[in-house]
Structure formats: structure tokens, C-alpha cells
């Protein structure tokens, strides 16, 4: 099962929207006449997701930003719309995975609460939202606010506090800042006599741009919304692989690296990737020992898949093995 963003007017998305409208007709006697516009589901204002399994569309769901200008809602809300799973794909956890990804992307966009309207004739949806921690919402909103068959729910999102790490996708305009973070973080290796590592250049702008456009780069922000740490990820041997995670030394020891890694873990779970992997210096205090505290374990050579083996060969060819180096894995 794959879940990916799609425009709401995508042909496969529309095929499932047509199905859910027929479902509304069957259960309520008519379709949902709520107006939905493609631009509402375009990041950072919203997102629309399509789940595909076995090469076919299986489910959909989206959220759009809401605020206090809409009666019954408040600033920072994200409204869930058009959650639906095709009958042949039900009871496989597809809806729960779509919902988890909607919540994750809403957090990335700075939304503080998920809200939704569903109906009395959708017991499956009511059970799923209850199991996911949604509670009845006293306020009513939208086109069906006065309908007796409409029910409203909310869930406060697990956003970090004002002083805790905030994670969001990296922006193309921030790529030079990521390079600066990498240079600053690298200087700490000089204190250990690892001058070659300290002098290693950061990823090029072109390399960083590939991660940003591929949705595999995230940053932690300081109190002024400036990136002070970043993480790049690949998929290697069927796992989410941490290609690079760096924290500016002025912001070290504040949990930024952990926050980025935990965020990647959520990204990986939605994609049903079983683990996180990385390669690192085994004896550097903020490398191997640090990752062990975060739940990673060292991998034996016979546990390495072909992708990790190639990464280790490339590192050795680049002179990285002058100091003990290892691959690590954390199960999800």
C-alpha cells in the first residue's frame, strides 16, 4: 500500500470521490454538496492523499486549513474531508494510515487541531475516529451545521510546546542555511583530531534540492522560525535511511536531533517501512553512543543489505574508515 499526495482533481482521486458520493446517496438520500476547491488542498494550505494498493486506487482523504473566519472554527484548525476507502480494501488499516498521514502533514504545516464532520449513518467512521482519539466537538460548522444527522469531532495535535523542537519540511530557499549548519556542525570533529571530517564539504545545493523536491528533507526551527538543524533521508534496502542529520552547535543538547529522527520514524511508519538505518562513527560521543541511546543497534556485516553495503564501500573509498565506522538500525 502506497500513500501519496495528489491534486483533488486527479482522475484517480475523482473516481473515489464519485464512489463516496454514491455512498452518501445510499446512506443519507443525497450527495455531499460541500464546495471543495483544488487550491484548498495545496500545501501549505492543505493536502489530499491517495492510497493505492496492487496498482489500483484504494482510499482517499484530505485536510484544508480553517480559521476563526469560519463560524464554529478557530485559528490553526485543519478540517478533514472526503475520507473514504473502497469496499475491497476495507478492514486492512488503510483508513487509519491515511488519517495518520493527514495528522502528520497537518503538524508539519503548523496546524494545531484536526476537526471533522461525519454522519450518524457511518458507524465505521465513528469507530475509527474514536479509536484514533477524536472527541465530540461542541461547536458545529459548515453546510450541515443544522442537520440532525451530522456529528462533529476534534483532536488536538501533538505539537511541541513553544520551547520544544518544531519540525517541518525544508524549503528550497533554505538550502544555503543547511550548508551553513553542516559546516558549523563539522567543526566539532576537529577537536577530536578528525580534521578530514571537519573539512568535508556540505552537500551541494543540487544534492540538497533533490531531497527537498523529493519530500525527504526536514528542519528544526529556533524561536525565530530559522532552521538550526536538518535531516536528509533515503529509502535503502526497504528502510528509511538517515543520510545526514546535523545540528548547529549553538543549539546542541536541546533534543533537535531526536525530534528530527522521531519525525522521520512517523514518516516511515505511514509508508510501512520497518526500520530506520544510518551509518556513523562508532566512537564519536554524539554519533554511535548517541544513536544507541535513541534505540539504534549496531549491525554486523552479515546483516547489511546491498544498499548499506554500497554505502559502506563508498565511505571507505572516501577515507571515512580512518576512524571506526558502523551501520546501525532501529526497528519501528
Q: Distances in Å between the alpha carbon of 203 and those of 185, 264, 320?
A: 13, 20, 16
How many whole angstroms separate alpha carbon 233 and alpha carbon 242? Answer: 5
Maximum separation of any 2 CA atoms in the chain, in Å:
74
CB 269 within 8 A of CB 284: no
Cα 96 to its chain centre, rounded Å, is: 15
Q: Distances in Å between the alpha carbon of 283 and those of 3, 37, 189?
A: 38, 54, 12
Handedness of CA 278, 203, 2, 97 (dihedral sign): positive
CB 222 within 8 A of CB 156: no
Give 204-209 contacts, CB < 8 A, sequence gap 24+.
205/175, 205/176, 205/179, 208/170, 208/175, 208/178, 208/179, 208/232, 209/172, 209/175
In DSSP terms, 65 is beta-bridged to 78
Q: Per residue, what are the HEC states of 29-92? A: CCCCCCCCCHHHHCCCCEEEEEEEECCEEEEEEEEEEECCCCCCCCCCEEEEEEEEECHHHCCC
Over residues 186-222, the pLDDT tens digits come to: 999 998 999 989 999 999 999 999 999 988 999 998 8
Domains and CATH numbers, the chain: 2-156 (3.40.630.30), 166-331 (3.40.630.30)
Q: Which stretches in the chain have pLDDT values below 70?
A: 158-164
How many whole angstroms separate alpha carbon 232 and alpha carbon 218? Answer: 7
How many whole angstroms separate alpha carbon 15 and alpha carbon 57? Answer: 9
127: Cβ contacts below 8 Å, ≥ 6 apart? none
Q: What is the DSSP letter of 201?
A: P
Over residues 294-322, the pLDDT tens digits come to: 999 999 999 999 999 999 999 999 999 99
Which pTM value belongs to this model? 0.61
| Residue 321 φ then ψ, to 5° | -80, 10
How many whole angstroms separate alpha carbon 81 and alpha carbon 13? Answer: 13
DSSP strands (E only) in 76-170: 77-85, 113-119, 135-136, 150-156, 166-169
Amino acid at each position: 500500500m502506497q500513500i501519496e499526495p495528489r491534486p483533488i482533481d486527479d482522475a484517480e482521486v475523482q473516481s473515489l470521490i464519485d464512489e463516496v458520493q454514491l455512498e452518501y446517496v445510499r446512506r443519507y438520500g443525497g450527495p455531499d454538496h460541500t464546495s471543495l476547491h483544488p487550491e484548498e488542498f495545496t500545501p501549505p494550505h492543505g493536502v489530499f492523499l491517495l492510497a493505492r494498493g496492487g496498482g489500483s486506487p484504494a482510499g482517499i482523504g484530505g485536510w484544508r486549513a480553517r480559521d476563526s473566519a469560519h463560524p464554529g472554527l478557530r485559528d490553526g484548525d485543519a478540517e478533514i474531508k472526503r475520507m473514504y476507502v473502497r469496499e475491497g480494501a476495507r478492514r486492512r488499516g488503510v483508513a487509519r494510515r491515511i488519517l495518520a498521514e493527514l495528522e502528520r502533514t497537518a503538524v508539519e504545516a503548523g496546524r494545531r487541531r484536526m476537526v471533522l464532520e461525519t454522519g450518524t449513518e457511518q458507524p465505521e467512521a465513528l469507530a475509527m475516529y474514536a479509536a484514533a482519539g477524536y472527541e465530540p466537538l461542541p461547536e458545529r460548522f459548515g453546510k450541515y451545521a443544522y442537520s440532525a444527522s451530522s456529528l462533529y469531532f476534534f483532536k488536538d495535535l501533538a505539537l511541541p510546546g513553544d520551547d520544544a523542537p518544531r519540525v517541518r519540511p525544508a524549503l528550497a530557499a533554505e538550502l544555503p542555511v543547511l550548508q551553513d549548519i553542516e559546516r558549523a556542525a563539522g567543526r566539532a570533529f576537529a577537536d577530536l583530531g578528525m580534521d578530514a571530517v571537519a573539512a568535508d564539504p556540505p552537500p551541494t545545493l543540487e544534492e540538497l534540492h533533490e531531497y527537498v523536491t523529493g519530500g525527504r528533507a526536514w528542519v528544526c526551527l529556533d524561536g525565530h522560525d530559522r532552521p538550526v538543524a536538518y535531516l536528509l533521508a533515503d529509502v535503502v534496502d526497504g528502510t528509511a535511511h538517515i543520510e545526514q542529520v546535523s545540528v548547529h552547535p549553538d543549539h546542541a543538547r536541546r533534543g533537535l536531533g531526536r525530534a528530527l529522527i522521531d519525525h522521520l520514524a512517523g514518516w516511515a511508519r505511514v509508508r510501512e517501512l520497518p526500520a530506520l538505518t544510518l551509518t556513523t562513527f562508532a566512537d564519536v560521543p554524539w554519533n554511535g553512543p548517541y544513536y544507541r541511546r535513541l534505540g539504534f543497534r549496531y549491525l554486523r556485516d552479515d546483516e547489511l543489505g546491498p544498499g548499506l553495503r554500497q554505502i559502506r564501500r563508498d565511505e571507505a573509498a572516501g577515507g571515512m574508515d580512518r576512524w571506526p565506522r558502523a551501520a546501525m538500525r532501529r526497528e519501528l
